[in-house]
């Protein structure tokens, strides 16, 4: 029986999820919901609505995007003259996509507003909306410039002018990352709506909230600051060497609520509603008795809707630990629950279970009594609950007489250089900032497996393993060392044998492996929808920050069931997402893909997305493990971090999804962690991930990752032995794994032989995932309903009349911008085998990827990949015997390609 993928329902769910993440930060005099029928809307982003950030997570080829302007027009009358003036201006000043991969500017040029227009409009219209747009993304962090994190001069002027002229001013921020909002203290806009980037349905989600069809219930997943320069990471963010994580565990609100409350403009967890909520504690049951191994706390809270509209809110529970010897933030999120829609005047009872051990600390101090242990330090623990971190009220106090050791571990990921970290100390008037040395234990050699597994001459097929006739070990034993080495690679980008134009595939990457029945396992970007650089369309969903701001795992799960189904429709085994790095600092370009500054919120939301996709046996590949908190020089930057901060903050969300059992595919990050690249990091990928947390899935590198052997040793992409030893199972990606030679790998590594046991162990990780999750092994037929039509205006048709041996094709005036397609309609006179000779240049930088996805007569042919800026001359073989008219599509999934020349050359005449 077929499962139905109904795009109408998909869009509806995305619209709901997008609206649910929108955070209302200000609403004086109840200016929202908008009751006026006529409004004046300013800012170009109302038209060029930013539905997603840039880079691999933003390259969904969307069939449509509902702009904020379109959404508003479905409900309201917009001031005509303002609308018309903008439309005319935009014709002259089109959206600037930038040159090259992921190079869209942070903000776009804004139109000057003339005084007359403002005066005239504000005579009849009370309410002005100003839409501010921002983008950032992979390989490109925000900067502390105007037009990036800060408003541009022009935007500031527009806001001030609008404030002056209109009775009501509503500001809508259309940005995946938090931006500076400190202008509010001067401007005093009546309403600020943080709308994030809502994917294809952005305009609808925004208008649902502005109109009150949806009562906002999004809460801030990050603290919004008055002055980002007072952020403890300010000194280090953007550094390549010694990017010191001096703030240690005091990330986001953990720092600001503890040490600099004045700097908080809007606290973590904050967000208004059109109604008002109160809560009362009905009961709290504390059953903490470490001797009996009891750590349970149960809270029963009643949420009363005391306003006059129905709405949802989020009950947030925070814990605070004794300062102890380690030092701690004053509050940490330990549980949250979103209510259902509570009618006005009604209430809902919320039951929350807490395990006190979730407040455990990791003791990384040298020579302490509890060195390398997870502990609950002796002293007072407080539990508080409320609607944001600041206003939460204390409910329970628990006193632990003695320090409790929960787990004795071995030190891992220790920093190799000396630096100081923040330490909170008790002072007369509360808590004070101090610093202490970060413990440094040096480097422990990686244990080596005994290489005692021999090759056999059996000839099994993977189906023998699936049917239970043959053991996986026996199956693997038949492969040579070189076969197993080749299995440690993924093919890509745009691998052959799977859906065209996707990021990569692993498993049956060579003839030999395919012959043994190993299937190709297809992986496609990314967190905001499926990226297929082949011209196929996919749905774009709200960005990570928006989905986290919903504080609603259920809606995330429901939305990702649709994503899972869409993966099935397109034969994608694994979606390369969610991205779940912690928002260390607001400028990280990829914050839009990630969720929050809080590890629990990140873990819960990621987990719900994984569960959603798994409903249809689709795996999410969670990324980037770990500490990829800036994009600038992401391959070379060294995240220098204490073991405590790594474990308590940056690894914690990954631990959450591994322990829940929902993660079976993980992508490591590009960066170094304390001098050792994540992908060749044994502590990370084996000792912590597998031995401590019990992970049994596959681990892959990020695309063309760098590897090194020892902390601060030089790195390269060729010596994969340290990666294999670390149990990062797959190097992603190589054009074709059958060209990988054992001899060459041994030569670059300076080793005489490869450790066969390590190869076998990793092959098992890979094959186990393929057996459990390959779509070919677990088929499902998907019936598609209400699929949106593609926007054909981006297809540029070129007639090619082939009447001689060589035909020059002039493509000079055509657009190769993101989303455009050049379609050659070849009418051939001669029947035979031809070559399309393309000469093209990419202007992208570093490891940025651009490509041309080619398909012939609608059958995806191949993707020409460019890494960084390079020129390529490619000859594409065309068998033009069957048809008289042949269609060659060249699709551009990113901007930045220049076609220097194209010609069609006859190689050999052959009869049809």
Residues forming the active site = 702
**Contact letters (x/-) for ligand BGC, 502-531, by CB under 6 A?**
-x---------------------xx-----
CB of 240 to ligand BGC, least distance (A): 17
Concatenate the DSSP letters of all residues of 725-780 into one string.
HHT--BEEEES-GGG--HHHHHHHHT-S---HHHHHHHHHHHHHHHHHH-TTTS--
Distance of CA 905 to the CA centre of its chain: 44
Q: Rounded to 10 degrees, what is the CA torsion of 321, 326, 331, 335?
A: -70
CB of 829 to ligand BGC, least distance (A): 41
Comparing CB distances to ligand BGC, the nearer of 111 and 700 is: 700
**Cα 425 vs. chain centroid, distance in angstroms?**
36
The residue sitting closest to ligand BGC, measured at its beta carbon, is: 56
Residue 623 interacts with ligand BGC (CB under 6 A)?
A: yes
Extract the tokens encoding 504: 């990569």
**Smallest distance from ligand BGC to CB 369, Å:** 42
**Which C-beta is closer to ligand BGC: that of 642 or that of 851?**
851
What CA–CA distance (Å, rounded) separates 133 from 43? 8
Q: Least distance (Å) from ligand BGC to the CB of residue 493?
A: 7
* Interface with ligand BGC in residues 547-606 (CB under 6 A): 576
# residues near ligand BGC by CB under 6 A? 9
> Mask of contacts with ligand BGC, 120-159, x by CB under 6 A?
------------------x---------------------
702 binds ligand BGC (CB under 6 A): yes
| Nearer to ligand BGC (CB atom), residue 329 or residue 504 | 504
* Beta strand 795-802 pairing with 832-842: unpaired
Q: How many CB atoms lie within 10 A of CB 590?
A: 32
CA-based angle 773:582:231, to the nearest 5?
170
Q: Which is nearer to ligand BGC, 502 or 888 (CB)?
A: 502
Is there a contact between 381 and 212 (Cβ–Cβ < 8 Å)? no
Asked whether the beta carbons of 381 and 400 are under 8 A apart, the reply is yes
Radius of gyration of the chain (CA): 28
Instruction: Give the CA distances from residue 147 to residues 86, 171, 229, 630, in Å, rounded to whole numbers and listed in that order.
Output: 19, 16, 17, 19
Q: Are 299 and 395 in contact (CB under 8 A)?
A: yes
Taking the complex as a whole, the smallest distance from the CB of residue 525 to ligand BGC amounts, in Å, to 5
Strand duo 347-355 + 264-266: pairing = unpaired
Q: Which is nearer to ligand BGC, 503 or 853 (CB)?
A: 503
Interactions with ligand BGC, residue window 27-86 (CB under 6 A): 56
Q: Please list the residues that pair with 314 across neighbouring strands.
A: 338
- Dihedral sign for Cα atoms in the order 835, 840, 846, 850: negative
The residue (of 248 and 525) whose beta carbon lies closer to ligand BGC is: 525
CA distance 652 to 603: 8
Alpha carbon distance 202, 507 (integer Å): 38
Binding of ligand BGC by 703 (CB under 6 A): yes
Nearer to ligand BGC, 170 or 622 (CB): 622
Q: Which of 96, 58, 100 is nearest to 841 (CA)?
A: 100
Quick count: other Cβ atoms within 10 Å of Cβ 745?
20
Rounded Cα gap, residues 828 and 811, in angstroms: 19
* DSSP secondary structure code for residue 448 in this structure: -
205 or 665: CB nearest ligand BGC:
665
Residues forming the site for ligand BGC (CB under 6 A): 56, 138, 503, 525-526, 576, 623, 702-703
């Amino acid at each position: 029986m077929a499962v139905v993928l109904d795009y109408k329902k998909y869009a509806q769910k995305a619209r709901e999820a997008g609206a649910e993440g929108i955070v209302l930060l200000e609403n004086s005099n109840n200016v929202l919901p908008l009751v006026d029928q006529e409004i004046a809307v300013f800012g170009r982003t109302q038209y060029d609505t930013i539905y997603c950030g840039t880079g691999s997570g933003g390259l969904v080829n969307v069939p449509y995007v509902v702009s904020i302007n379109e959404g508003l027009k479905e409900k309201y009358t917009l001031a005509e003259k303002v609308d018309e003036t903008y439309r005319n201006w935009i014709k002259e000043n089109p959206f600037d996509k930038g040159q090259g991969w992921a190079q869209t500017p942070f903000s776009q040029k804004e139109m000057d507003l003339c005084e007359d227009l403002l005066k005239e409009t504000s005579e009849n219209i009370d309410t002005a909306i100003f839409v501010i747009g921002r983008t950032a993304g992979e390989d490109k962090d925000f900067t502390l410039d105007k037009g990036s994190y800060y408003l541009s001069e022009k935007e500031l002027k527009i806001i001030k002018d609008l404030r002056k002229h209109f009775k009501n001013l509503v500001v809508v921020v259309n940005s995946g990352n938090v931006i500076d909002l400190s202008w509010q203290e001067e401007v005093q806009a009546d309403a600020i709506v943080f709308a994030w980037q809502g994917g294809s349905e952005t305009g609808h989600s925004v208008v649902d909230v502005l109109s009150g069809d949806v009562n906002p219930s999004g809460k801030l997943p990050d603290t919004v600051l008055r002055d980002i320069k007072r952020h403890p990471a300010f000194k280090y963010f953007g550094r390549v060497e010694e990017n010191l994580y001096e703030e240690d565990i005091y990330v986001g609100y953990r720092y600001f609520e503890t040490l600099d409350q004045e700097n908080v403009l809007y606290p973590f967890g904050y967000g208004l509603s059109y109604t008002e909520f109160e809560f009362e504690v009905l009961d709290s049951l504390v059953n903490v008795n470490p001797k009996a191994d009891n750590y349970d706390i149960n809270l029963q809270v009643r949420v009363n809707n005391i306003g006059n509209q129905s709405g949802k809110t989020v009950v947030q529970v925070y814990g605070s630990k004794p300062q102890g010897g380690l030092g701690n933030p004053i509050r940490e999120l330990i549980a949250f629950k979103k209510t259902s829609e509570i009618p006005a005047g009604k209430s809902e009872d919320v039951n929350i279970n807490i395990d006190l051990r979730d407040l455990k600390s990791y003791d990384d101090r040298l020579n302490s009594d509890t060195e390398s242990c997870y502990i609950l330090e002796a002293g007072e623990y407080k539990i508080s609950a409320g609607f944001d971190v600041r206003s939460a009220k204390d409910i329970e106090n628990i006193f632990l007489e003695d320090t409790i050791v929960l787990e004795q571990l071995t030190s891992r990921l220790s920093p190799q250089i000396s630096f100081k970290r923040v330490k909170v100390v008790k002072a007369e008037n509360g808590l004070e900032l101090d610093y202490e040395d970060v413990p440094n234990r040096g480097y422990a050699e990686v244990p080596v497996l005994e290489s005692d597994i021999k090759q056999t001459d059996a000839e099994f097929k993977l189906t023998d393993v699936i049917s239970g006739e043959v053991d996986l070990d026996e199956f693997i034993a038949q492969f040579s060392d070189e076969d197993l080495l080749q299995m440690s690679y993924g093919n890509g980008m745009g691998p052959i044998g799977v859906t065209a134009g996707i990021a990569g595939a692993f498993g049956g990457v060579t003839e030999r492996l395919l012959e043994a029945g190993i299937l190709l396992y297809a992986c496609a970007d990314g967190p905001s929808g499926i990226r297929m650089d082949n011209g196929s369309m996919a749905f774009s969903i709200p960005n990570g920050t928006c989905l986290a701001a919903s504080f609603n795992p259920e809606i995330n799960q429901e939305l990702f069931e649709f994503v899972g189904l869409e993966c099935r429709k397109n034969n994608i085994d694994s979606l390369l997402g969610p991205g779940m790095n912690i928002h260390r600092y607001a400028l990280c370009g990829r914050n839009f893909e990630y969720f929050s500054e809080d590890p629990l919120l990140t873990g819960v939301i990621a987990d719900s997305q994984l569960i959603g996709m798994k409903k249809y046996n689709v795996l999410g590949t969670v990324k980037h493990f770990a500490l990829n908190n800036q994009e600038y020089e992401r391959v070379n930057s060294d995240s220098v971090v204490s073991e405590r901060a790594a474990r308590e903050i940056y690894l914690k969300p990954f631990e959450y999804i591994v322990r829940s059992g929902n993660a079976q595919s993980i992508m490591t990050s590009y960066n170094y962690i304390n001098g050792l690249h994540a992908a060749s990091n044994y502590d990370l990928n084996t000792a912590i991930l597998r031995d401590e947390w019990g992970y049994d899935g596959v681990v892959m590198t990020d695309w063309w990752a760098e590897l090194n052997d020892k902390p601060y040793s030089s790195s390269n992409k060729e010596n994969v032995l340290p990666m294999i030893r670390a149990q990062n199972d797959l190097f992603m990606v190589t054009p074709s794994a059958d060209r990988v030679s054992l001899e060459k790998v041994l030569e670059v590594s300076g080793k005489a032989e490869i450790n066969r046991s390590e190869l076998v162990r990793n092959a098992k990780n890979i094959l186990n995932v393929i057996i459990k999750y390959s779509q070919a092994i677990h088929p499902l037929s998907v019936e598609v309903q209400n699929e949106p039509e593609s926007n054909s205006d981006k297809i540029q048709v070129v007639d090619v009349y082939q009447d001689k041996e060589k035909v020059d094709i002039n493509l000079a005036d055509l657009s190769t911008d993101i989303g455009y397609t050049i379609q050659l309609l070849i009418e051939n006179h001669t029947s035979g085998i031809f070559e399309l000779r393309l000469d093209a240049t990419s202007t992208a930088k570093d490891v940025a990827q651009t490509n041309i996805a080619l398909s012939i007569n609608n059958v995806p042919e191949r993707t020409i990949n460019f890494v960084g800026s390079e020129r390529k001359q490619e000859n594409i073989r065309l068998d033009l015997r069957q048809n008289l008219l042949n269609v060659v599509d060249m699709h551009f999934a990113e901007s930045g390609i220049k076609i220097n020349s194209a010609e069609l050359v006859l190689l050999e005449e052959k009869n049809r």
